[in-house]
């Protein structure tokens, strides 16, 4: 006996109603914009990517030659300069990123808390500062800080020089401050309002609710995007070379000049810079994605 198929309204037959259909929750859209695009892109690369880059750099001299100065000699020059470039250059990039992240995190936490203040003046001022530095080019901020800050401080008869790298630290901490402020504000606002109401019913003050109930919950949520911004900051530190700060790109340029500026030196030296930054930021990206999956809010 053959059963007759029942027509499904809206698919095999005209719709029987004009009411809206409640679609299932799209968790990807519910989370909003992707907050960790850079770290996710790095983490999605296969683990053998650094080895492939290294093999490409090593194999280059076997296929490309110049008139008299070969790429083999260029790589020999790179090997001689690697200790100087790493110890006096890349470690300085890491140092700049570390101090800029510390300053930016401290100031950004204050700005983020200021944006949720009940005082309209504090909230609006914090919002304006956040948006100003969040939507400003990093290089422009570095130039402003470099030109606005003095090169030395005169305190009585004592002259204290202000190194360029300290200005670079402060200049890079400004955009980090603004983005950390948004992370803090968004994490606090993600806590259900029922917890605020419950703490108010228990006679907690707003400060007690914030420090004892809300912030302990959101710290775990803020760690993955915080690490993502640290990776972005580290990759942005070569901008300081334009302003004369002695970091890896500037020292690599000096090393190339010491080797008589042969064009064949450009590929090995700058490929090494690319490789060392990738080797430093790739584990951070992998760790960031792992923490995001561990601390994510499950809907």
DSSP-H helix ranges across the chain: 27-30, 37-44, 49-63, 71-85, 91-115, 120-134, 138-148, 164-189, 193-201, 206-209, 215-236, 248-258, 266-295
What is the average per-residue pLDDT within 58-63? 56
Residue 31 reports pLDDT greater than 70: no
Residue 153 phi, psi (nearest 5):
-115, 130
Residue 51 belongs to domain spanning: 35-56+68-295
Question: Helix (H) and strand (E) counts for the chain?
Answer: 13, 2
Quick check: 48 pLDDT over 80?
no
Which CATH number covers residue 133?
A: 1.10.3720.10
Considering only residues 275 and 19, tell me which one the structure prediction assigns the higher pLDDT.
Answer: 275
Using alpha carbons, select from 109, 130, 102, 106 the residue that is nearest to residue 184.
109
| Number of domains composing the chain | 1
Q: What's this model's pTM, rounded to 2 decimal places?
A: 0.74
Q: Tell me: the pLDDT tens digits for 207-260?
A: 888 888 888 888 888 888 888 899 999 999 998 888 888 889 989 898 888 888
Please report whether residue 226 resides in a domain.
Answer: yes
Res. 32: pLDDT tops 90:
no
**270 within a domain of the structure (yes/no):** yes
125: in domain: yes
Take residue 67 and report the two structure tokens written for it.
């008139």
- Please indicate, yes or no, if residue 130 is contained in any of the structural domains: yes
pLDDT at 33 over 70: no
Q: How confident is the model at residue 169 (pLDDT cuts 50, 70, 90)?
A: very high
């Amino acid at each position: 006996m053959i059963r007759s198929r029942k027509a499904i309204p809206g698919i095999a037959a005209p719709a029987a109603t004009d009411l809206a259909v409640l679609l299932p929750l799209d968790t990807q859209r519910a989370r909003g914009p992707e907050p960790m695009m850079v770290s996710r892109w790095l983490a999605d690369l296969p683990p053998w990517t650094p080895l492939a880059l290294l093999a490409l750099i090593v194999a280059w001299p076997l296929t490309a030659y110049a008139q008299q100065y070969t790429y083999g000699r260029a790589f020999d020059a790179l090997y001689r300069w690697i200790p100087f470039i790493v110890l006096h250059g890349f470690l300085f990039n890491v140092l700049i990123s570390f101090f800029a992240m510390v300053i930016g995190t401290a100031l950004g936490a204050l700005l983020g808390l200021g944006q949720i203040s009940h005082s309209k003046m504090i909230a609006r001022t914090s919002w304006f500062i956040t948006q100003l530095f969040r939507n400003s080019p990093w290089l422009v901020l570095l130039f402003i800080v470099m030109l606005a800050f003095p090169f030395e401080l005169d305190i009585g008869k004592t002259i204290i020089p202000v190194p360029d790298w300290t200005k670079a630290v402060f200049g890079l901490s400004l955009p980090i401050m603004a983005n950390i402020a948004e992370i803090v504000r968004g994490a606090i606002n993600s806590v259900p309002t029922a917890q605020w109401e419950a703490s108010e019913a228990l006679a907690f003050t707003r400060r007690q609710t914030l420090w004892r109930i809300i912030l302990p919950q959101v710290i775990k949520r803020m760690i993955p995007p915080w690490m993502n911004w640290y990776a972005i900051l580290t990759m942005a530190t070569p901008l300081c070379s334009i302003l004369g700060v002695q970091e890896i790109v500037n020292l690599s340029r000096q090393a190339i000049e010491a080797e008589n500026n042969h064009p064949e030196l450009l590929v090995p030296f700058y490929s090494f810079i690319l490789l060392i930054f990738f080797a430093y930021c790739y584990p951070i990206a992998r760790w960031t994605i792992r923490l995001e999956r561990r601390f994510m809010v499950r809907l």
